[in-house]
Structure 1
């Protein structure tokens, strides 16, 4: 990183060929192409011992494929132009005809150049590349160890964040179990290793560790959290280690955190390191607090832990940087040596004592901002405030997209909103965040202040009852229960759903919800300070009465229809029985009935029709309707055959 500015300055010196840059060089890809090509040419000139002759520099003829697909040769300028057009087409927010400008700051250019240099080094001979890689790794490790104040550590670079921890744990297993390489998991049959992690730490870390090493989850020993939230409880850790040693297990590894998730609270590193020394545990530290020594103007080093994992990519704002794990190689220890214990006076990782000031600063360091909406003078907010903070986090994730907000649920503080710049973009634009946050805080204050009056008004209205809606951050839920409907839960659910549809036609703040008992209810959303709760409830009452009346009319009409249908069915059954008696039983026999009908047709008239009068709820015959239709059909032909009237001169018909 220290040489990046020198290379960047030298790369700005244009060569004679670049005095008149082409149109492509001025595009978003052209400048990067020029920088990358210039650096690659400089490196090639250093690698090659002599310049190629004219015959070697001569362009080789293009080989044509024997297949049917033979693309034409394309220049680099045309390829860059096609890429720019693709960037323009695939960007939905681009309104102009020019392609969007890619990030061209010094950090981005350094990252792009590093990938180009790595690709170039990959073309070297294997022995040359090995020597070059070893030299670069050694210099980088020494530079990073000096920056982060780490002394006498070895470094391991990896892309996956937990790969270094897996390697350190595997190394510990080989040291503690000499037969681990030959016997594998059978080496743990008589003495199971134990890995200690705080209950507040992410569970995925120890799960990934066990899966990669083939360890059972019984190896994981959860340690209670400190009463003040500062990492794990150190006395509880020592008690667990003593119990495991007495039970025939092998305490192996303790996972600590400096500025650990979720709230950035650090461990009490001096006390934790002393406990690990007494119990013979390997202490591994992770977290953003480990970046603090690089920001402090001090020269002293520390060796409080046996291994640490650093993530310089997010800290420096350079994507693609590998994660590095610094570790000290432990001395081989057999089971008998471990049962005797470790010298309490021995310092971790060597004889050099840790620097107390720097370690204390790392213990108190926090690389994230944790905040929540809570009442004044409350150690832990009521459960309702967890819903409000969840709502606030969802709103900020949607509207304040300039930063990365994470909603965390903690045991000691409830739901907390967390912002960590070291996990995202360090150069985030925070100018618009205060206005967005202030507007949402006004809504939260109004909703929290009006919730209690809202519940009191609901309790005072006979036909309304409060409904507890899980996970709802608004004023709450209300169920409309008219008199006489208490014993009909299905009708009540349908009534409240119809009520929500009627209310949403006037105000979109209402929504249909489901209470804790699975019943439908009306949900009231977030409100502002000028909201009249009593007016909202009166609106619900008026709409509820209208829906109730409509429901009663529909219910009455349903009953009328049921009654009319049952009467019509009874009449039809009675008339069919009478007709069967009049026609005789022979007409119902399948074969004989046809012969009887042909020989002596029945003179029984068909059963009369009926219609249901909804207003009176009675069945009426349809004979009058048939007579009216018959008279009308008989009068139509007579009117059609009458002579047409001739118009007179004054416009009247004769």
Structure 2
């Protein structure tokens, strides 16, 4: 089976085809649109069809190739787990029960020890939100004794409330309410700090005030979702204080976020270490360790197995326990040292980038105060003086998002192995984000990639600075030429946008638009021929001329 899986993977990963293979692929693609073959097809033809479907769109293929996952031996081990699970599922019941029990207990014990979560149980799930969903059901069953028999009637008498940070994942709260059959009024979004501490941390004082008001109104505080690494900026909530508040109000504390990976390291900051005292946490080991198609894991503590079974956190079906098999194989293949090394490597990449960015002019970084988060967020900001008459600082502030959008796109295209992306923060606007815990194991990011990224940022800074400084001069030059108009477009990261519009009003409207399009096209061509230092291009929504 392992041999067959390797052969299948080699066929799918092989991008080089002979002429004969191309003809066969074409025939396979044609067969794909026909009804199901009565005589069936062989494995080679089917796998070639899969390869064709994967590469059907050339544009999508080139984009996917830049960010394709690095499937090494540990990745093949995870994929083998899925095939092996299908094979094991046909064993007789006694052998299947013994084997699945061993796999589940081993994997749970290893993960609890790795992430310092003593006496924990584990639930393995494909959707990384499903663990939290099942935990919510567990808490409802625990809090409302008659829920099993009375259902929503007991909830109506004393409305449950789920609390989560304003910095939590978008639509997570709506997903929970929809799946639990609760109205959105059962969801409370707690604001983040505005005065002290990180602006991405949950405001503990606001939460305390909200809880007291809800209790006075006869509501039942059910569960709090906190972050050890917010989705956007990677900041950690004040988990120790939140745990105290949850204990005071008999409320469950669930923690999620990329910073939980740091629990596997030898030295962990106290802010993240506090997550080990929470009631449950969700770990996304797949991207952290570069393992494809492995389940997420929710670790939790609860003493009543009957309620865990009712909530769906445990099962009596041996086949469902096989979800842990890909992880069971992969964790053994990597070993404790291999797991720690991958997490440590991602953390070191972040530190290397952060140290280099701090020395660059016009680059502002946003990181967690204790430096324990692997997420680095940075952006370009203009350092020009207010006395500079060629620079309108208020305009530059509005154009900052466009410049950082362009910077992020350039870095992602030129250094794809770093996996940087663009994120929008409430106070900082658009920024470039480097989150190696979610990308480095998948993309194979190395220290030299970070060095290339820094060098690329150094090259782009003068381009952005010159563009901002010359924007006003460009506008004045355009307005001096009869027939040309300057178009204000704050979303464009170039020097500016212009358009020729001087056509006699006596000309028919349809002909006028065609003539304008023709003139602007000729103007675009001529400018690119005459000006080698500038790059002009056509706009999307209107015929324009832009300087990159």
- Range of TM-score over shorter length: 0.5 to 0.7
**Consecutive unaligned residues in structure 1, runs of 5 or more:** 1-10, 12-23, 34-67, 95-101, 333-360, 515-519, 527-654
- For 2:536, the equivalent position in structure 1 comes to 509
Kept in 1, the 8 Å contact 2:497–2:547? The answer is: no
Equivalents in 2 of 1:30, 1:491: separation in Å? 59
Matches within 5 A, 1:350-361: none
Equivalents in 2 of 1:195, 1:104: separation in Å? 39
**SS at the partner of 1:141?**
helix
Equivalents in 2 of 1:491, 1:231: separation in Å? 58
Equivalents in 1 of 2:436, 2:461: separation in Å? 22
Kept in 1, the 8 Å contact 2:122–2:300? The answer is: yes
TM-score, structure 1 normalization: 0.56
Indicate the larger mover: 456-465 or 303-312.
Answer: 456-465
- For 2:374, the equivalent position in structure 1 comes to 367
**CA shift at 1:239, angstroms?**
1.2
Kept in 1, the 8 Å contact 2:71–2:292? The answer is: no
Kept in 2, the 8 Å contact 1:493–1:521? The answer is: no
Aligned residues: 423
**CA shift at 1:390, angstroms?**
1.5
Out of 323, 326, 350, the position equivalent to 2:296 is 323
Larger Rg: 1
- For 1:127, the equivalent position in structure 2 comes to 94
- For 2:251, the equivalent position in structure 1 comes to 281
Kept in 2, the 8 Å contact 1:264–1:367? The answer is: yes
**SS at the partner of 1:29?**
helix
**Consecutive unaligned residues in structure 2, runs of 5 or more:** 12-36, 62-68, 306-367, 386-392, 529-534
Assess, with a 3 A threshold, how the Cα gap between structure 1 residues 151 and 382 changes in structure 2: closer, same or farther: same
- For 1:60, the equivalent position in structure 2 comes to none
- For 2:183, the equivalent position in structure 1 comes to 216
Matches within 5 A, 1:449-598: 449-458=469-478, 466-478=486-498, 497-506=517-526, 507=528, 509-512=536-539, 522-526=544-548
Equivalents in 2 of 1:510, 1:109: separation in Å? 45
Assess, with a 3 A threshold, how the Cα gap between structure 1 residues 252 and 480 changes in structure 2: closer, same or farther: same
Matches within 5 A, 1:624-639: none
Assess, with a 3 A threshold, how the Cα gap between structure 1 residues 510 and 106 changes in structure 2: closer, same or farther: closer
Kept in 2, the 8 Å contact 1:258–1:363? The answer is: no
Equivalents in 2 of 1:437, 1:480: separation in Å? 35
**CA shift at 1:236, angstroms?**
0.9
Are 1:111 and 2:78 counterparts? yes
Kept in 1, the 8 Å contact 2:503–2:516? The answer is: no
Assess, with a 3 A threshold, how the Cα gap between structure 1 residues 177 and 479 changes in structure 2: closer, same or farther: same
- For 1:231, the equivalent position in structure 2 comes to 201
Kept in 2, the 8 Å contact 1:286–1:309? The answer is: yes
**CA shift at 1:216, angstroms?**
0.9
Indicate the larger mover: 130-139 or 159-168.
Answer: 130-139
What per-residue deviation string (whole Å, max 9, x for no partner) do you get for residues 237-271 of structure 1? 11111111122222111111111210111112222
**SS at the partner of 1:505?**
helix
**CA shift at 1:499, angstroms?**
4.2
What per-residue deviation string (whole Å, max 9, x for no partner) do you get for residues 103-126 of structure 1? 784313422443343233212112
**SS at the partner of 2:470?**
helix
Out of 135, 142, 148, the position equivalent to 1:168 is 135
What per-residue deviation string (whole Å, max 9, x for no partner) do you get for residues 267-295 of structure 1? 12222222323333211100011111102
Kept in 2, the 8 Å contact 1:309–1:326? The answer is: yes
- For 1:542, the equivalent position in structure 2 comes to none
- For 1:624, the equivalent position in structure 2 comes to none
**CA shift at 1:151, angstroms?**
1.2
Are 1:309 and 2:282 counterparts? yes
Out of 382, 388, 391, the position equivalent to 2:397 is 382
TM-score, structure 2 normalization: 0.66
Kept in 2, the 8 Å contact 1:285–1:307? The answer is: yes
Are 1:152 and 2:172 counterparts? no
Indicate the larger mover: 222-231 or 307-316.
Answer: 222-231
Kept in 1, the 8 Å contact 2:503–2:512? The answer is: no
Equivalents in 1 of 2:466, 2:157: separation in Å? 62
- For 2:261, the equivalent position in structure 1 comes to 291
Assess, with a 3 A threshold, how the Cα gap between structure 1 residues 457 and 491 changes in structure 2: closer, same or farther: farther
What per-residue deviation string (whole Å, max 9, x for no partner) do you get for residues 588-619 of structure 1? xxxxxxxxxxxxxxxxxxxxxxxxxxxxxxxx
**CA shift at 1:414, angstroms?**
0.4
Assess, with a 3 A threshold, how the Cα gap between structure 1 residues 456 and 364 changes in structure 2: closer, same or farther: same
- For 1:639, the equivalent position in structure 2 comes to none
Matches within 5 A, 1:40-439: 105-227=72-194, 228-296=198-266, 303-329=276-302, 365-376=372-383, 382-426=397-441, 427-428=444-445, 431=449, 433-434=453-454, 436-439=456-459
| Greater share of residues in helix | 2
**CA shift at 1:322, angstroms?**
1.4
What per-residue deviation string (whole Å, max 9, x for no partner) do you get for residues 436-473 of structure 1? 54444443232122123323445666765543225222
Equivalents in 2 of 1:362, 1:276: separation in Å? 24
Equivalents in 2 of 1:163, 1:31: separation in Å? 29
Kept in 2, the 8 Å contact 1:259–1:365? The answer is: no
